[in-house]
């Protein structure tokens, strides 16, 4: 990809960020995992096996859709959707979960554990475990089990045990804490399928590499559809940042392509009301990596809020922080209300129900498309489908209506 | 020689292991922590580990997690903890080691933290999620510059290369994690522990202190002959919480600490049944 040199360095650093901040018990296993992953990357047989499963079981390649009616409605740039919502299990998460499950099997680890927020990574890991005949335990915050209950049922059908996490804010961060505790205890038999570009090296690069198929495909598909053109803008939502890096990586070497990541603006700017790490975070260490982190003055991690469980996390993948530092990508945020409005707009104009996470990327498109000419192209990573979010959207709209009614009375 | 090294040299001369209690600073409040430090030193602690609470303690089991939550809710911060230590330091004749996660320390900047910790009377610092590789650039030099020992960990997964790395980068003592897992009380000690400790001590000059999952006097007595020190954490933290409504709760914890301290003395181990005998009967190992 041009002259762009993708990190990390030998110490797992993307510029000053990243690294391997793990308890001693995990240090040797992380080195082992990195070695196994590097071997697998060079192993043609491993690549062929993964490609075959992606094609025949997971449904790759996913289509690229020209969103003609959405583009016309916004009255600006042409919008293209990379349809990861059509991937098996309903989100991009499967690209990574399947890759890591296959690697675990290669390493002789018969037990998979994973954290999940929205439930998509849990469902993907449970499905991959079922397909490969591995045991599977998914850690999920109790609050997320409530708001993503459809996915809890799906995981259980795939034979996974869903372990509720009642600590802290009972969301994604706490699920990762609990998964790490399990891994520290059972590391000899167990692989931890981390679901985003987070955690100690080699996770951020490994997850990115398993996800880059999104951007590689989209780049080819867009060129074919437009007569060899590149997008002017690539937009993706950023929880940990795996779907964003999955689509950004293919364009890093094209300086004319602007890359935009969208995080959760939540319901306001006060601590605890959002998950806007680029807006309000400071550098720190959480879950094994040095990165931007929402924390207080004493270094304690702050609670977060987002209408979407998958973006509701206080830290962000270290490679994103480096891309921001270099000015190669920019990061912005969308509020709960903007995301829900964008979700409804896509439903109405294109007949596609996106995940609430994805809707944050669409909210940014709603802001930018009208300012770009009709010949410009925006590529959006449609990271997942929104069936899981129907209850959350309904509850949000009821709440909004009630607030409006109260406002009307006063 | 640092205060920590002197302590282990003295214990070695007495032919015994050191007793190292661990507590969570600020649980239930810092005033109690100050009194508890004094009580533990009087009860026969040779060195005390002071846990700094953190919002996301991935290496801790339920007992220490809950204690950390209570401490944070009561307003404990690293800064206030250091102030408490400074207040009671003169009344404690034993070395103190801060046991923390990386973030509460890094937020202050390594150099500023090290200066404050040393000024408060801390002797060594152990950072659970800061392996030697990540400490090398800033934290280790900052600690060394202020005369603080850099306590590193080893675990059952650590091979010879990591043991050698820790031997080069650590000082004071090495904290050996007795089993893969998180902190917390366990019924039995890991069966491989004696063999692993022998392997570690063959490659290492630093004193080796064993912790994680050791909670009873019998377990302490079983580990003591194999190590230079034994840490008991969750059992004391739980006891303090369980008897929170007792006016004499500090005396109860101190009494427990006295039993644990007695268990590192060889005579006591003898009285409790020799290690070999316990093993034959399916004792602590
Ligand atoms: C559909 C979807 N998109 C995005 C995300 C956010 O994760 P990431 O930033 O790693 O892509 C999630 C996470 O659960 C998700 O389910």
pLDDT value at residue B285: 59
Q: H helices within A13-119, ranges in order?
A: 24-42, 44-53, 68-74, 93-106
Predicted pLDDT at A169: 87
Choose the residue to mutate in A150, A154, A242 for probing ligand 1, maximizing ligand atoms within 8 Å of C-beta.
Answer: A242
- Best B131, B164, B199 member to test A by mutation, with max A CBs in 10 Å, is B131
Residue of chain A whose alpha carbon sits nearest to that of B62: A167
Average pLDDT for chain A = 96
Shortest CB distance from B104 goes to which of A167, A180, A298?
Answer: A298
Pairing of strands A111-116, A190-192: parallel
From atom 13 of ligand 1, which residue's Cα is the shortest distance away?
A310
Catalytic residues of A, which ones? 93, 115, 383
To the nearest whole Å, the CA of B83 is away from the closest chain A CA by 14
The number of C-alpha atoms within 13 Å of B235 and in the hemisphere containing its C-beta is 23
A288: left (phi over 0), alpha (psi -120 to 50) or beta: left
Residue from the list A11, A167, A298 with its beta carbon closest to the beta carbon of B77: A298
Pocket test residue of A96, A97, A116, A120 for ligand 1, highest count of atoms within 8 A of CB: A120
**Residues of A in Cβ contact (< 8 Å) with B108:** 299
Q: Which residues of chain A have pLDDT under 50?
A: 1-2, 410
Q: What is the pLDDT of residue B1?
A: 86
Q: Tell me the β-bridge partners of A382.
A: A83
Q: CA of A176: which chain B residue's CA is closest?
A: B58
- Distance (angstroms) between ligand 1 centre and the Cα of A197 equals 11
Which SS3 state, helix, strand or coil, does residue A8 take? coil
Residue A396 phi/psi, 5° resolution? -65, -45
In the predicted structure, residue B246 carries a pLDDT above the cut 70: yes
Q: Pick from A19, A23, A293, A294 the residue to mutate for testing the B interface (most B CBs within 10 Å).
A: A23
What is the distance between the alpha carbons of residues A172 and A340, in angstroms, rounded to a whole number?
A: 21
Give tens-digit pLDDT for B150-181: 999 999 999 999 999 999 999 999 999 999 99
* Cα-to-centroid distance, A241 and ligand 1 (Å): 7
**Separation of A96 CA from ligand 1 center, angstroms?**
12
List, in order, residues 6 or more apart from B73 with CB less than 8 Å away. none
Q: Name the residue facing A300 among B104, B134, B154 (closest C-beta).
A: B104
> pLDDT at position B256, please?
98
* Å from CA of A148 to ligand 1 middle: 13
pLDDT digits (tens, 9 = 90+) for B219-243: 999 999 999 999 999 999 999 999 9
Contact predicate A311/A324, CB 8 Å? no
Spatial distance between the Cα atoms of A213 and A217, rounded to a whole number of angstroms: 6
Look at residue B280 and tell me whether its pLDDT is greater than 90.
Answer: no
Say yes or no for a CB contact (<8 Å) between A285 and B155: no
Each residue of A293-333: pLDDT tens digit?
999 999 999 999 999 999 999 999 999 999 999 999 999 99
A237, A277, A359, A382: which to mutate for ligand 1, most atoms within 8 A of CB? A237
CB pairs under 8 A between A and B: 110
Give the residue carrying structure tokens 């009561």.
B74
For tokens 């060899």, the residue is A228
pLDDT at residue number A408: 60
Mutate to test the pocket of ligand 1, among A122, A244, A311, A329 (most ligand atoms within 8 A of CB): A311
CA-based nearest distance B223→chain A, Å: 20
The Cα of A233 is separated from the nearest Cα of chain B by a number of Å equal to: 36
Residue pointed to by tokens 């050996």: B176
Chain B residues in contact with A201 by the CB 8 A cut-off are none
Work out which ligand 1 atom sits closest to the CA atom of A90.
1
CB pairs under 8 A, 24+ apart, for A386-390? A386/A85, A386/A343, A386/A353, A386/A354, A386/A355, A386/A356, A386/A358, A386/A359, A387/A90, A387/A150, A387/A353, A388/A90, A388/A118, A388/A119, A388/A120, A388/A148, A388/A150, A388/A151, A388/A355, A389/A148, A389/A308, A389/A343, A389/A355, A389/A356
pLDDT in tens, A327-365: 999 999 999 999 999 999 999 999 999 999 999 999 999
**Measured distance CA(A274)–CA(A332) in Å, rounded:** 12
Query: In 3-state terms, what secondary structure has residue A153?
Result: helix
Return the residue matching tokens 């945020």: A333
Q: Which of A11, A288, A301 sits opposite B133 (nearest CB)?
A: A11
Nearest to A65 by CA among A268, A281, A222: A222
Q: Which tokens hold the place of A15?
A: 């510029």
CB of B77 less than 8 A from some CB of A: yes
Chain-centroid distance of CA A48 in Å reads: 25
> Element (H or E) spanning B276, and its range?
helix B275-280
pLDDT for residue B284: 58
Token pair belonging to A316: 């962000």
Query: Is residue B49 annotated as a catalytic residue, yes or no?
Result: yes
Q: Which of B65, B134, B162 sits opposite A28 (nearest CB)?
A: B162
* Cα-to-centroid distance, A239 and ligand 1 (Å): 6
ipTM of the complex: 0.95
Separation in Å, CA of B154 to nearest CA in chain A: 6
The overall pTM is greater than 0.80: yes
CA angle, A150 then A152 then A156, to 5° = 120
Q: Is the pLDDT of residue B36 over 50?
A: yes
Closest-CA residue, ligand 1 atom 7, reads A239
Digit-coded pLDDT (tens) for B126-138: 999 999 999 989 9
For residue A365, give every residue at least 6 positions away whose Cβ sits within 8 Å of its Cβ, in sequence order, or none: A74, A79, A235, A342, A378, A380
Provide the token pair at B247. Answer: 């006016």
Quick one: how far is CA A302 from the chain centroid? 20
Q: Are A378 and A77 in contact (CB under 8 A)?
A: yes
Q: Which pLDDT value is given to residue B274?
A: 44
Taking the C-alpha atoms of residue A249 and residue A241, their distance in angstroms, rounded to an integer, is: 12
What's the pLDDT at B271?
46
What CA–CA distance (Å, rounded) separates A281 from A294?
4
Average pLDDT, chain B: 93
Inform me whether the pLDDT recorded for B277 exceeds 70: no
Nearest to A354 by CA among A327, A330, A388, A398: A388
Q: Where are the strands (E) in chain B, listed by range?
A: 18-24, 48-51, 96-100, 124-127, 149-154, 174-177, 208-211, 229-232
Cα A119 to middle of ligand 1, angstroms:
9
**Count of CB atoms within 10 A of residue A135's CB?**
15
Whole-number Å distance between alpha carbons of A287 and A183: 12
- The runs of H, that is alpha helices, within A107-232 are 120-132, 142-147, 149-157, 172-186, 203-211, 213-226
The alpha-carbon gap from B167 to the nearest alpha carbon of chain A, in Å, equals 14
Alpha helices in B121-174 (DSSP H): 132-135, 139-145, 160-169
Rounded CA separation B106/A284 (Å): 7
| Predicted local confidence at residue B278, as pLDDT | 41
User: Do the Cβ atoms of A180 and B134 come within 8 Å?
Assistant: no
Q: Output the residue whose Cα is nearest ligand 1's atom 14.
A: A310
Domain that holds residue B174: 3-281
Domain count, chain B: 1
List, chain by chain if needed, residues with CB within 6 Å of any ligand 1 atom.
Answer: A 91, 93, 117-118, 120-121, 196, 237-244, 310-311, 355, 357-358, 383-384
CB A75 within 8 A of CB A97: no
The pLDDT value recorded for residue B44 is 98
Beta bridge partners of A165: A141
Contact, A298 vs A273, CB < 8 A? no
- Tell me how close the Cα of A62 comes to any Cα of chain B, in angstroms: 37
Domain with B84 in it: what CATH number? 3.20.20.70
Give the total residue count for chain B.
285
A219 Cα: distance to centroid of ligand 1 (angstroms): 21
Residue A409 or B207, more confident: B207
3-state secondary structure chain B: CCHHHHHHHHHHHCCCCEEEEEEECCCCCHHHHHHHHHHHHHCCCCCEEEECCCCCCCCCCHHHHHHHHHHHHCCCCHHHHHHHHHHHHHHCCCCEEEEECHHHHHCCCHHHHHHHHHHHCCCEEEECCCCHHHHCCCHHHHHHHCCCEEEEEECCCCCHHHHHHHHHHCCCCEEEECCCCCCCCCCCCCCCHHHHHHHHHHHCCCCEEEECCCCCHHHHHHHHHHCCEEEECHHHHHHHHHCCCCCCHHHHHHHHHHHHHHHCCHHHHHHCCCHHHHHHCCCCC
Helix/strand/coil for A307: coil
Q: CB A274: neighbour CB atoms within 10 A?
A: 26
Catalytic residue, from B34, B46, B60, B149: name it. B60
Q: Which two tokens stand for residue B144?
A: 């060394």
Contact B152 A24 (CB under 8 A): yes
Task: Please determine, for residue B52, whether its predicted confidence score (pLDDT) is greater than 90.
Answer: yes
Neighbouring C-alpha atoms within 13 Å toward the C-beta of A255: 6
CB atoms within 10 A of CB B71: 24
Bridge-based pairing state of the strands A258-266 and A233-237: parallel
Please give the share of chain B, as a percent, with pLDDT higher than 90.
91
Q: How much is the pLDDT for A1?
A: 42
Q: How many CB atoms lie within 10 A of CB A403?
A: 10
Query: How would residue B266 be classed by pLDDT, with cut points 50, 70 and 90?
Result: confident
């Amino acid at each position: 990809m041009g002259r762009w040199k993708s990190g990390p360095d030998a110490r797992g650093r993307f510029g000053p960020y990243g690294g391997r901040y793990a308890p001693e018990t995990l240090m040797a296993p992380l080195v082992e995992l990195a070695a196994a992953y590097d071997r697998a990357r060079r192993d043609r047989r491993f690549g062929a096996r993964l490609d075959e499963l992606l094609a025949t079981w997971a449904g790759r390649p996913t289509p690229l859709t020209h969103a003609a009616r959405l583009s016309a409605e916004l009255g600006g740039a042409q919008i293209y959707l990379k349809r990861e919502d059509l991937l098996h299990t309903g989100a991009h998460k499967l690209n990574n979960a399947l890759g890591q499950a296959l690697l675990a099997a290669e390493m002789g680890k018969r037990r998979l554990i994973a954290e999940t927020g929205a439930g998509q990574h849990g469902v993907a890991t449970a499905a991959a475990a079922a397909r490969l005949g591995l045991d599977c335990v998914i850690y999920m915050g109790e609050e997320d089990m409530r708001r993503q209950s459809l996915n809890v049922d799906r995981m259980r059908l795939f034979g996974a045990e869903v372990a509720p996490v009642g600590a802290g804010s009972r969301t994604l961060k706490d699920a990762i804490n609990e998964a790490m505790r399990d891994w520290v205890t059972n590391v000899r038999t167990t692989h931890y399928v981390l679901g985003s570009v987070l955690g100690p090296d080699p996770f951020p690069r490994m997850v990115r590499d398993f996800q880059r198929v999104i951007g590689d495909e989209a780049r080819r598909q867009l060129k074919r559809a437009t007569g060899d053109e590149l997008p002017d803008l690539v937009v993706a939502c950023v929880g940990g940042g795996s779907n964003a890096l999955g689509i950004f990586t293919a364009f890093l070497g094209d300086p004319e392509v602007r890359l935009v990541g969208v995080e959760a603006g939540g319901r306001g700017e006060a601590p605890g009301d959002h998950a806007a790490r680029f807006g309000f975070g400071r550098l720190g260490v959480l879950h094994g990596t040095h990165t931007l982190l929402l924390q207080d003055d004493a270094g304690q991690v702050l609670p977060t809020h987002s209408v979407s469980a998958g973006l509701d996390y206080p830290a962000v993948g270290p490679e994103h922080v480096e891309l921001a530092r270099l000015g190669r990508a920019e990061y912005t945020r969308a509020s709960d209300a903007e995301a829900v409005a964008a979700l409804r707009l896509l439903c109405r104009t294109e007949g596609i129900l996106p995940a609430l996470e994805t809707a944050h990327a669409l909210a940014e498109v709603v802001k930018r498309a009208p300012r770009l000419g009709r010949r410009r192209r925006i590529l959006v990573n449609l990271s997942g489908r929104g069936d899981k979010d129907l209850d959350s959207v309904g509850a949000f709209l009821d709440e909004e209506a009630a607030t409006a009614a109260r406002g009307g009375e006063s | 020689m640092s205060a920590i090294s002197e302590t282990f040299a003295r214990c070695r001369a007495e032919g015994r292991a050191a007793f190292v209690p661990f507590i969570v600073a600020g649980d239930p409040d810092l005033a109690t922590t100050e009194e508890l430090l004094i009580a533990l030193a009087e009860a026969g602690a040779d060195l005390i580990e002071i846990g700094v609470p953190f919002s996301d303690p991935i290496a801790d089991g339920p007992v220490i997690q809950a204690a950390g939550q209570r401490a944070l809710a009561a307003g404990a911060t690293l800064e206030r903890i250091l102030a408490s230590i400074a207040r009671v330091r003169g009344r404690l004749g034993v070395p103190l080691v801060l046991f923390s996660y990386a973030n509460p320390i890094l937020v202050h900047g390594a150099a500023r933290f090290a200066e404050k910790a040393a000024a408060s009377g801390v002797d060594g610092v152990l950072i659970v999620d800061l392996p030697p590789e990540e400490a090398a650039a800033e934290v280790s030099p900052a600690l060394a510059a202020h005369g603080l020992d850099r306590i590193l960990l080893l675990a059952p997964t650590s091979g010879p290369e990591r043991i050698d790395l820790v031997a080069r980068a650590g000082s004071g003592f090495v904290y050996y994690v007795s089993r893969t897992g998180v902190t917390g009380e366990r019924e039995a000690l890991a069966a491989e522990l004696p063999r692993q400790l022998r392997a570690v001590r063959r490659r290492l000059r630093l004193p080796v202190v064993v912790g994680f999952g050791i909670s009873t006097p019998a377990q302490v007595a079983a580990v003591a002959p194999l190590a230079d020190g034994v840490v008991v954490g969750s059992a004391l933290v739980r006891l303090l919480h369980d008897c929170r409504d007792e006016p004499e709760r500090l005396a109860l914890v101190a009494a427990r600490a006295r039993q644990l301290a007695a268990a590192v003395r060889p005579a006591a181990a003898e009285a409790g049944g020799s290690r070999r005998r316990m093993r034959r009967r399916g004792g602590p190992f």
